Amino acid sequence: MDMNKLATWVSTYMPGVAAQQTESANVSQNEEDDDIDSEKAHNSSEEWSYIRRDANAASELPSAYRLDFSISETELIEATIANSKEIAETTDKSYKRLMGQYESWVIKRGFVKASKDVDVFGKDVRRLTPFFIIGWIMAVCDDTNPDQTKKPATQTRASYSHAMKMRAALTYGFGRYYGRGSNEWHMLEDGRFIGNPSISSEVARYMVALRKRKKAQGDATTLAQSSRAMNAQTFGKLYDYNRKYWESANDEAAKGTWGGKHHRLLVHAVATLSFFLLLRLDETLSIKTENVKIVSDSEMIIYLEKRKNQPAGGRCLHSTDLSVVC
């Protein structure tokens, strides 16, 4: 079909449509011009001249923009993975260490045959992998061994918090390094299993049951998850209770009691700041004298050098009766 003839026919017999198309084209052009103006405003004149050059003139770009390096697909994938870590470096190393422990455990138990090309997180993943994960966590954290024998009372068991970390490490490993993502482990019509084996109904049910057992045993990492554990009134009562130790001239009044006046004062200050300012304990402990500014009797400003979700730092402001905080 001759597009010129079609355009002529539309403009002659359907002037409304033609006008709408012209208006739409003008709007699109105006939006494009606005984008170009915005991009130009955020670059120096030299940078802008290079950005607007033809892509074929790459050899003329300054060294910062040159694309004359060579890289294989494998190297590009590795570089992408290395520069896309969404967790801290220390956490990544901790997860890799736990991944190595899981790999050693399943090979040692014979669930995966040891060979030169063994790949516990890759090709050797199969239908029973979620049960291998449960067995590994059970061996480290539960009262019962994977063979259903009871562990002796003297045998050390890891906490529920560590069990969650073990599972998180495998979820991270299967998902990030082996491309299984965060999709639930499930079976296809042809009988094959896909998804992340750590995110399976079997593992989820076991973790719920393990938490109940740990809670019944008084595991601190399960009991500490109570939203009614502390409130402002409780901190006020703690302040009144501990003040008698702080006001004593020496530690004699605190003999036979926990901590003494200096330790009590320190713990109270750290706990209260963390509670009122919604800080993690490590964030509170990193506060220095120069980070604190007393504005008045009822207001202070704390400047944080960094936070877990704000690595560049930021200001944390809280107004209160400083007799409670300090």
Q: Which residue has the higher pLDDT, 190 or 25?
A: 190
User: What is the structure's pLDDT at 323?
Assistant: 45
The answer on pLDDT for 82 being more than 50 is: yes
- Per-residue confidence at 269, pLDDT binned at 50, 70, 90? confident
Mean pLDDT score, 75-83: 82
Q: What is the pLDDT of residue 121?
A: 92
Q: Average pLDDT for residues 149-174, to the nearest whole number?
A: 93
Task: Reply yes or no on whether the pLDDT at 32 is more than 60.
Answer: no
**pLDDT of 5 strictly over 70:** no
Q: Is the pLDDT of residue 109 over 90?
A: yes
Mean pLDDT of the region 91-115: 93
Name the most confidently modeled range: 68-82, 143-157, 294-308, 311-325.
143-157
pLDDT at 58: 47
Q: Quick one: pLDDT at residue 94?
A: 94
Mean pLDDT of 74-103: 87
Higher pLDDT, 137 or 296: 137
Say what the pLDDT of residue 54 is: 45
pLDDT band at 95 (very low <50, low <70, confident <90, very high): very high
Asked whether the predicted pLDDT for residue 322 surpasses 70, the reply is no
Mean pLDDT of the chain: 76
pLDDT-derived band at 107 (thresholds 50, 70, 90) equals very high
In the predicted structure, residue 178 carries a pLDDT above the cut 70: yes
Compare 197 and 325 and report the one with higher pLDDT: 197
Q: Which of 102-111, 175-184, 304-313 has the lowest mean pLDDT?
A: 304-313
Is residue 148 very low, low, confident or very high in pLDDT (cuts 50, 70, 90)? very high
**Mean pLDDT calculated for residue range 19-38:** 54
- Per the model's pLDDT, the better-predicted residue between 322 and 71 turns out to be 71
Give the pLDDT confidence score for residue 218 in this predicted structure. 82
For residue 48, pLDDT beyond 50: yes
For residue 281, the model assigns a pLDDT of 83
Of the ranges 75-84, 141-150, 246-255, which one carries the lowest mean pLDDT score? Answer: 246-255
The 3-class secondary structure across the chain, one letter per residue, is CCHHHHHHHHHHHCHHHHHHHHHHHHHHHHHHHHHHHHHHHCCCHHHHHHHCCCHHHHHHCCHHHCCCCCCCHHHHHHHHHHCCCCCCHHHHHHHHHHHHHHHHHHHHCCCCCCCCCCCCCCCCCCCCHHHHHHHHHHHHHCCECCCCCECCCCCCCCCHHHHHHHHHHHHHHHHHHCCCCCCECEECCCCCEECECCCCHHHHHHHHHHHHHHHHCCCHHHHCCCCCCCCHHHHHHHHHHHHHHHCCCCHHHHCCCCCHHHHHHHHHHHHHHHHHHCCCHHHHHCCCHHHEEEEECCEEEEEECCECCECCCEEEEEECCHHHHC
- Averaged pLDDT, 220-229: 60
